[in-house]
Amino acid sequence: MAARADSSSFRVGLIQARASADPAENLAKAEERIAEAALGGAQIICLQELFRSEYFCREERAELFDLAEPVPGPTTERLARLARELKVAIVASLFERRAAGLYHNTAAVLNPDGELAGIYRKMHIPEDPLYFEKFYFTPGDLGYRAFDTPFARIGVLVCWDQWYPEAARLTAMEGAEILFYPTAIGWHPKEKEQYGAAQADAWRTIQRGHAIANGVYVAAVNRVGYEGTADSGLEFWGGSFVADPFGVLLAEASRENEEVLVVECDRRRIEDVRRNWPFFRDRRIDSFGGITLRWAGR
């Protein structure tokens, strides 16, 4: 593990945006917003899940595999140039073409020198109405990872991963000081009135729980806007946020608007919380063998 920066704090930028049907337009917008975040002092900047396109997993169409690209590839090359120019680290969620017929939902971490610090491949792949991800993505095979940047050691998980405490715990155990969750989550319009508030609250609550349980910062980066037809679409609920190591919300974006959040994270807060709430000290690791079973040994 490389030594982190000596600074007592680091600043993160979250890019919450709408997506159009034009990947080139989305990439150009992302570059503009990254520059805006850097101008605001952000050092590690995270884009939303699959930022180059609309959330195409709303439907199963083989031609949409054409949206995929290798990693590293054209998009990481462009973002690497921008990272070098702005002297920032960038977390970019991409549709990775690994080989013919083999695709992943992948987050690339680019350092300020333009080098690829590494990739994380989404481990948990959902299959729900309008979230047909199993049609497109092979589950990740790299495990849970943390990446060194000059500013902080970061963990990256992707969207559906955010519901799994095991993923957060294992990534925190890799030394991550902050967990980034590039996300594309929204409401089914017919469900919004009855379930919408509770769904969004559960999403925020469980991630704040990961921050508390692991004594780390958490940054969730969602998209906004309606995508799809009137009868078959998703309204992405935004609400991107940063929580501190005790789950306190430091900043939260709106439900409807494109926004750039820049938030300072004091790493001394990690030390303070873990000293007073020493969950890692008190873990009974000798009793956890059952966690690798599907269901109570049966």
The verdict on residue 293 lying in a domain is: no
Residue 49 annotated to the active site:
yes
Q: Which residues, 6 or more positions from 72, have their beta carbon under 8 angstroms from its beta carbon?
A: 80, 108, 116
Cβ contact 172:179 at 8 Å: yes
Token code pair at residue 35: 């520059």
Let me know if 228 is exposed, middle or buried by CB neighbors in 10 A (0-12, 13-18, 19+).
middle
Cβ contact 241:255 at 8 Å: no
* pLDDT score at 298: 65
Catalytic annotation, pick one of 46, 49, 177, 265: 49
Catalytic annotation, pick one of 29, 54, 96, 122: 122
**CATH of residue 224:** 3.60.110.10
The verdict on residue 269 lying in a domain is: yes
Cα 39–Cα 42–Cα 44 angle in degrees, nearest 5 = 135
* pLDDT score at 3: 40
Q: Which residues, 6 or more positions from 36, have their beta carbon under 8 angstroms from its beta carbon?
A: 260
* pLDDT score at 220: 98
The verdict on residue 292 lying in a domain is: no
* pLDDT score at 232: 85
The verdict on residue 5 lying in a domain is: no
* pLDDT score at 1: 37
The verdict on residue 2 lying in a domain is: no
The verdict on residue 297 lying in a domain is: no
The verdict on residue 171 lying in a domain is: yes
**Relative orientation angle of helices 189-214 and 165-173, to the nearest 10 degrees:** 30
Catalytic annotation, pick one of 96, 159, 227, 235: 159
* Number of domains composing the chain: 1
Chain centre distance of CA 164? 13
Cβ contact 215:277 at 8 Å: yes
What span, in angstroms and rounded, lies between the C-alpha atoms of 146 and 75?
22
The region, left, alpha or beta by phi > 0 then psi within -120 to 50, assigned to residue 100 is beta
Note down the domain range covering 127: 10-279
* pLDDT score at 17: 98
Residue 122 annotated to the active site:
yes
- Tens place of pLDDT per residue across the chain (298 aa): 344 556 899 999 999 999 999 999 999 999 999 999 999 999 999 999 999 999 999 999 999 999 999 999 999 999 999 999 999 999 999 999 999 999 999 999 999 999 999 999 999 999 999 999 999 999 999 999 999 999 999 999 999 999 999 999 999 999 999 999 999 999 999 999 999 999 999 999 999 999 999 999 999 999 999 999 888 899 999 999 999 999 999 999 999 999 999 999 999 999 999 999 999 999 999 999 999 999 986 6
Residue 265 annotated to the active site:
no
